Each structure stands twice: as structure tokens, then as C-alpha cells.
Amino acid sequence: MAEEVKYTEENIRSLDWKEHIRMRPGMYIGKTSDGSSADDGIYILLKEILDNSIDEFVMGNGKNIDISIKDGKVKVRDYGRGIPLGKVIDCVSKINTGGKYDSKAFKKSVGLNGVGTKAVNALSEYFRVESIREGKIKRAIFQRGELIDDAPIEDSGIRRGTRFTFEPDTEIFKNYKYRPEYIRNMIRNYAYLNRGLKIHYNGEEFYSENGLLDLLKEKLTADPLYPIIHLEGEDIEVAITHTNSYGEEYYSFVNGQFTTQGGTHQGAFREAYVKVVRDFFGKNYEAVDVRGGLVAAVSVKVIEPVFESQTKTKLGSTEIEPGGKSMRAFVSEFLSRELDNYLHKNPETNDPMQRKIIQSERERKDMAGIRKLAKKRAKEVSLHNKKLRDCKVHLNDKGDNELKRETTLFITEGDSASGSITKARKVKTQAVFSLKGKPLNSFGLTKKIVYQNEEFNLLQAALNIEDGLDDLRYNNIVIATDADVDGMHIRLLLITFFLQFFPDLVKSNHLYVLETPLFRVRNKQETIYCYSEEERVNALDKLKGKPEITRFKGLGEISPDEFKNFIAEDIRLDPVVIGNDTGIHPLLEFYMGKNTPDRQKFIIENLKVEKDIVEEDV
């Protein structure tokens, strides 16, 4: 018989503000992972501080923001008005305290809940705030939300503004590391959305004169088929073009906040864009053809925006302001007027746009039969055998969107490797897809190959990305291959597949490579797993004597019990990130095209032979 659980006054407790944030950090900053993903909590901490500085700029106060990140310590300095000196401590340590409740002062601000800086404070092992205004400075220092230094207000001759310094708490963010590429991406977005603002980050300056036009120019990884269309109106700005890439690609923003999961404004744009194009050309084109290869950015400003989570990655507002015009009507009226005018005034855009639509239509019809057969085959094979070992989130789908954001698909090769991961995984949120041999080199092939090649077809079906990312089944797609030459080759072939046919999946930061240890160094007292030669040397120094050294040559050599460590709390993921200095086609041409003298030279100069790695073990 089950033991009776007591429920008395003693079971009721009240948490103070910092205890609640620390006990439930996911409610406030999302994931508490190590920084390998762009939406990890350590970046949300930085964003919450930056949002306040951005709001000051929007209000006409301060044109520069300085950011420094070194060894995990973050410093942010703006030149706005500074927090009122008598309220500095309250603003960073009392929930529901802040200036953004005054709709006159912050009419279209993102941070309306009064939680942002408090969450940063509570989740930092060191947090310092300094406000300088009216010739005086107020400073306070906290440790995990606890005030440890309340300095008196003093005279100051430095420029007005606010300075924040914090270090994320290693008790919560284990083994975290800020990745510069994610920081730069975040800062660039702030610069594009706030023309005239200069942001300095570790010696680099970020600045934009042309807003979303500059953003789209940088984001393009394939040549545009026509010059970027850039339209602006009150509380809305869009930039639009097409490329010959597959799929659709969007960068959407609300009040300066990058809504990585889109929302009502992005949905309204997609719908309105199709309507305007159909009306202009007088043809009832299929929506999927009109948007095929579309790359667009849309930014709107909304009074009192409603988001689907505290991290504000998806807009839920159906109106542009409470009781006002609907989001659909607002976006539709703007595009119906401005995009239609642009197309009439710039006829040189019309032909390439229509050619792309017709090309997409032709390809879709050519592949209709193949797609039908491929879908049938995928349903028969992928969902009913060991090809896909799904997670319980999907097998027992209850619509928990937050839980779905934790889902991961490991793509691996070989029975032993997939077997180890399958036995070690978290069955609730982690799935395994088993490849059969090396995938095809898909560079330069058409999308028809996705349906004709069984491995690609089944992988696409498992991910559910045939028609875009709206219904992507796993938030994290992790390539898990052996750390040898064959494993590296499989990894490269898979990355080529995604870049060739589903580049938006990579650009949206869903693709990763799993790092697993190369060595295990142990004695009777301690075991250390090493991911590099340097870590192996350090482990030998630490353990002294003659510890046992094991070189893992494949994932199958790692027991399931050991593997649990490497795909759970101690997971190490390398994100697949497309740089801003080259397009996807030239990148794939270099690595996956026909051999060239340049690539031969690159391989020779960067070749690392297996014997060089293990030489000292022999």
C-alpha cells in the first residue's frame, strides 16, 4: 500500500524572488546548457542586460554600447540616462520593479515584465550594477542574488549611463562557454534594428545605416535573383529577395527582439506576400511555389507584445496594440500598398521573380509522383523498424512545446554506435536515426535525389522537414560519428546534404556535431575522459604514475554506461555555423566538388595522421 503523503501547513512555503528564479531558471531564461546552442541561457542573460541599453538608445539616450566578454565575465556599458540612483538596488532585485511599466516612457519595449535584470542577478555568482547620472554614481554588488556590497552614492566625473558586470553561476551553467559567433550574431541584429547605434564588442564595432537591407545582404549565402526589396513604414520594415536555394528563410523581429521561432507577425507576412504576388501577376500560384527560395526579414513594433514564453522567441499577439488593428490586417495592408507599388515601379524585378516561381512550380510537379512513393516508403520503413528509435515526446505527443524544444535526434552509423547511444539516451527526449553505410555526396544534385535515395528520404521523413521547418520534429539534430577518417567523411556528407537541400535548418542553429572523448585515462581512484591531446597530457600530469590509457577509436567502443555521461549533462556539442565570409555554394564546391589544386594544397597542409595522435601511447 502506498505511503500516505502528509499535506499540512509545514508543506506550504514561500520562496523569495531569487530562490524562485534559481529553482526554476528555465521559466526565466530557457535552457541552462553550456552555450553550444544560440538559445542557451547564458546568451539570454546577456540579452536581458542589452535590452535595457537598447531601450535607452530608442528613447534617444546614448549612441554607443560597449560589451566585453573574457573568461566568462561579461561587462556591458551604455551611455543612457542611468537608473535613478535611489532605485538601483530595487531595479535589479525586486520582481515587478522597473521603468517599463510606464507606457509613456517605454511604449514599445520588449522587457515589460520587470524580471530581466533580476534573473541575471539571481543566476550570477557575481553581479555588479553601477548607475552614473547627474554627476553621481551608485554601485551595488550581489552574489547569487544576495546583496553583499551596498556602496553609498558618491560624486563622479565620468559619463552618465549604466554599467553591468556579471559572471554566470557555474552551479547552474556547468562548463559553459560563450561562443563569439553567437554573440556577434546577436549584436549584428541589434545594430540592424537600431540604425545609428554603435556597439563595440571585444574591439569590434557593429553599425548599420540601412537596417534590414544590410541584414539581408549579410545573411545571403547564395546570389540574389534580383536586388533586395527594402520597404519601410510606421512600425514595420521588410527586406525581400529570392535565391535558387531550396526552402524559405525568415528573420523576424518584434520591438528589436529576434523571434527565432517566428509567430503571428511572420505568419501574417508569409500570407500577405503570397496574396500580393498573386494579385500582381494575375495568377493563382501555389503558395509553396511563390515562397520557394524566398529570403526575407520583417520587423514590427507592437504595443504590449505577448510572447509564448519568457525567452520571447515566438510572438503570440494577434493585434498590433490591445484593442487595435489585427496583425494580419496591419501587415497585409502595408504589403498590399508598398510591395505592389515597388513591383510596378521596378519592372526589372518582375521577370526574375516570376521565373523563380515557375521554376519552383515545374520542379514540384516533376517530383509529385516520386514524392508520393517516397512518402509511402518512408512511412512503411522509418516508423516501423529500427531505422528510427523515436523519443517518447513524439510517441506520446501531448503538445508540450517547451518539452519539444528539448528533443534531440542523434544521427549515427553502424549497429554498434547506434546501439550504444540507444541504450544510453534519455528515452523521453532523445531519438536515434541509424544510417546504413556512407551517405551519397549530394553536392550539385537536384532535390529529386532526396526522394530517390532511401537514406535521405527516411532522414527527411524522420525530421519532417520536407515542406520547411514549421513542423520540425527535433530541435537539435546531432551528427554522431566516429572520430576517425571514415567518421569525418560521413559527417561532411551529412552536412553537405543539409546545406544543399535544407540550408534554413543549419542557419536556424539546429545542426550540431557530437564531441566524444578520444581517451580515457584512469587509475584506481579516478577516471578522466579527454577530448584532445592537451587534455590527455593534463590528465597524465594529474594522475601521476602509470595510469591506464584507452584510445577510443569508435563510438561502439564506449559502453552505454559511459555514454550516458557524454549525451546528458556532460554533453559537448559543436554547432554547425555558416560563416559570413563565404556563400554555401562556394563552400561546398571547395570541399565536395571535383578535386582542385587549392583543395589538394589545403588537405596536405592540414593533414593529421592517426599515428601522430597515438604516437606517445605506443
Q: Give the pLDDT mean for 332-347.
A: 96
Residue limits of CATH 3.40.50.670 in the chain: 368-516+553-617
User: Which pLDDT score, from 0 to 100, does residue 367 have?
Assistant: 87
User: Which pLDDT score, from 0 to 100, does residue 581 have?
Assistant: 58
User: Which pLDDT score, from 0 to 100, does residue 41 have?
Assistant: 92
pLDDT of 403 > 80? The answer is: no
User: Which pLDDT score, from 0 to 100, does residue 14 have?
Assistant: 59
* Residue 317's pLDDT band (cuts 50, 70, 90): confident
pLDDT of 432 > 80? The answer is: yes
Residues 564/424, Cβ–Cβ less than 8 Å: yes
**C-alpha to C-alpha distance for 123 and 169, rounded to whole angstroms:** 6
**C-alpha to C-alpha distance for 250 and 508, rounded to whole angstroms:** 9
**C-alpha to C-alpha distance for 21 and 18, rounded to whole angstroms:** 5
User: Which pLDDT score, from 0 to 100, does residue 266 have?
Assistant: 95
**C-alpha to C-alpha distance for 79 and 83, rounded to whole angstroms:** 11
Which residue type occupies 470?
A: D
Compare 38 and 294 and report the one with higher pLDDT.
294
Q: HEC string of 487-547?
A: HHHHHHHHHHHHHHHCHHHHHCCCEEEEECCCEEEECCCCEEEECCHHHHHHHHHHHCCCC
| Residues listed for the chain | 618
Name the grid cell of 71. Answer: 573568461
pLDDT-wise least confident of 5-9, 185-189, 236-240, 491-495: 5-9
Inter-CA distances, 301 with 264, 338, 392, 420, 570, Å: 13, 18, 39, 49, 40
Which phi and psi (to 5°) does residue 490 adopt? -60, -40
**C-alpha to C-alpha distance for 196 and 175, rounded to whole angstroms:** 36
Taking the CA of residue 611 as centre, how many other CA atoms within 13 Å lie in the half-sphere pointing to its CB? 0
User: Which pLDDT score, from 0 to 100, does residue 437 have?
Assistant: 83
Residue limits of CATH 3.30.230.10 in the chain: 212-364
Question: Residues 285, 287, 292, 296: is their CA dihedral positive or negative?
Answer: positive
Question: Residues 231, 232, 236, 239: is their CA dihedral positive or negative?
Answer: positive
* Residue 561's pLDDT band (cuts 50, 70, 90): confident
Inter-CA distances, 309 with 26, 33, 313, 318, 613, Å: 10, 18, 7, 15, 46
pLDDT single digits (tens) 565-595 = 888 877 888 898 876 656 676 777 767 776 5
Residue corresponding to grid cell 520587470: 114
Residues 121/145, Cβ–Cβ less than 8 Å: yes
Q: How many CB atoms lie within 10 A of CB 525?
A: 7
H/E element holding 137?
A: strand 136-143
**C-alpha to C-alpha distance for 577 and 582, rounded to whole angstroms:** 12
pLDDT of 132 > 50? The answer is: yes
pLDDT of 609 > 50? The answer is: no
Residues 338/231, Cβ–Cβ less than 8 Å: yes
| Nearest alpha carbon to residue 335 among 279, 389, 408, 399 | 279
Inter-CA distances, 290 with 37, 47, 309, 334, Å: 32, 35, 31, 19
Residues 496/440, Cβ–Cβ less than 8 Å: no
- What's the start-to-end Cα distance of the chain, in Å? 60
* Residue 436's pLDDT band (cuts 50, 70, 90): confident
pTM (2 decimals)?
Answer: 0.81
**C-alpha to C-alpha distance for 114 and 100, rounded to whole angstroms:** 7
Residues 427/565, Cβ–Cβ less than 8 Å: no
Name the grid cell of 381. Answer: 520503413
User: Which pLDDT score, from 0 to 100, does residue 339 have?
Assistant: 97
pLDDT single digits (tens) 488-532 = 889 999 999 998 899 889 888 899 999 888 999 999 899 999 988
* Residue 1's pLDDT band (cuts 50, 70, 90): very low
Inter-CA distances, 86 with 17, 91, 132, 150, Å: 20, 10, 12, 12
> Under CATH, which number does the domain 368-516+553-617 receive?
3.40.50.670
Q: How many CB atoms lie within 10 A of CB 173?
A: 25
**C-alpha to C-alpha distance for 532 and 569, rounded to whole angstroms:** 19
Burial of 608: CB neighbours in 10 Å, binned 0-12, 13-18, 19+: exposed
Residue corresponding to grid cell 515542406: 467
pLDDT-wise least confident of 52-66, 127-141, 330-344: 52-66
Inter-CA distances, 410 with 463, 494, 507, 517, 616, Å: 11, 12, 19, 17, 32
Name the grid cell of 568. Answer: 546528458
Q: Give the pLDDT mean for 350-354.
A: 96
Percent of the chain surpassing pLDDT 70: 86
Which residue type occupies 229?
A: I
pLDDT single digits (tens) 468-480 = 888 899 999 999 9
Helices (H) and strands (E) in the chain, counts: 24, 23
pLDDT single digits (tens) 446-463 = 888 888 898 899 999 899
Three-state DSSP at 426 gives coil
CATH superfamily of 17-206: Histidine kinase-like ATPase, C-terminal domain (3.30.565.10)
| Nearest alpha carbon to residue 209 among 198, 225, 221 | 198
User: Which pLDDT score, from 0 to 100, does residue 596 have?
Assistant: 64
**C-alpha to C-alpha distance for 317 and 308, rounded to whole angstroms:** 9
- Structurally, what CATH architecture does the domain formed by 212-364 represent? 2-Layer Sandwich (3.30)
Name the grid cell of 20. Answer: 524562485
**C-alpha to C-alpha distance for 330 and 193, rounded to whole angstroms:** 20
